[in-house]
Chain A
Amino acid sequence: KNQVEQSPQSLIILEGKNCTLQCNYTVSPFSNLRWYKQDTGRGPVSLTIMTFSENTKSNGRYTATLDADTKQSSLHITASQLSDSASYICVVRNGATNKLIFGTGTLLAVQP
């Protein structure tokens, strides 16, 4: 079944700390995996897109990893800032249907 599951559902960290968000998927065949950041009341904004052959991609303080064998991805945030408070959504494209399968997101709160 084409599914994307994210953990944890929510997370609270202190400003300046690092954190890692997880994404497991069963989508097959795999095409690519995207991480989006969604601020409250706003549309999602793309952070990274990773294909089968890529296992790490960075965008500033955000680093995404992909293990296509275990069908897992993670998003690591370094030296968190208050502005990192948002929902982070993992999205996998099905290579046969071209459909995007969305996870339900991890809600991150960064506290001072």
Chain B
Amino acid sequence: DVKVTQSSRYLVKRTGEKVFLECVQDMDHENMFWYRQDPGLGLRLIYFSYDVKMKEKGDIPEGYSVSREKKERFSLILESASTNQTSMYLCASSFDSNYGYTFGSGTRLTVV
């Protein structure tokens, strides 16, 4: 089975800190995605990547950046964390658009 591993289940950070959320997949998938999930809202796409060194903005990229130096690893960076970035962050990978996405277990980030 494909495994998508997010490095932290829970994180608490202070306003203004730089935050790194790490995601690693073990099935050689080309496509990787970062979403955030908030109560009452569907998952919203922050950034995605279809290849190493490649990145594309999703629907809500403001305040975030990403890094994909290796195929298996896709990092989400909060340049200067703010309280409105408190959320559940989900990483996903897929083989191609016709296959299901495999999600990680999520990182619940609280910014205080």
Q: What residues make up the interface of A, taking CB atoms closer than 8 Å to B?
A: 4, 31-32, 34, 36, 41-46, 49, 89, 93, 98-105
Contact = CB atoms under 8 A, between A and B. Distances in A.
Interface stretch (B12-20, B61-69, B79-87, B93-101): B93-101
Nearest to B59: A99
Q: What are the nearest 9 A-B pairs in CB distance?
A: A102-B42, A43-B103, A46-B100, A102-B43, A44-B103, A43-B106, A43-B105, A104-B42, A98-B97
Contacts, number: 46
Nearest to A5: B42
A100 B102 CA distance: 14
Given A102-B43, A103-B42, A34 B106 contact: no
A39 to B, nearest CB: 10
A4 B105 CA distance: 23
Contacts of A43: 4, 90, 92, 103-106
Q: Is the interface of A mostly helix, strand, loop or mixed?
A: strand
Nearest to A51: B98
Given A41-B105, A102-B42, 14 more contacts: A32-B98, A41-B9, A42-B105, A43-B92, A43-B103, A43-B105, A44-B43, A44-B101, A49-B98, A49-B100, A89-B43, A101-B42, A102-B43, A104-B41
B78 interface: no
Interface string B3-46: 01000010000000000000000000000000000001111110
Q: In this complex, which of A43, A49, A89, A104 has the most chain B Cβ atoms within 10 angstroms of its Cβ?
A: A43
Contacts of B98: 32, 49
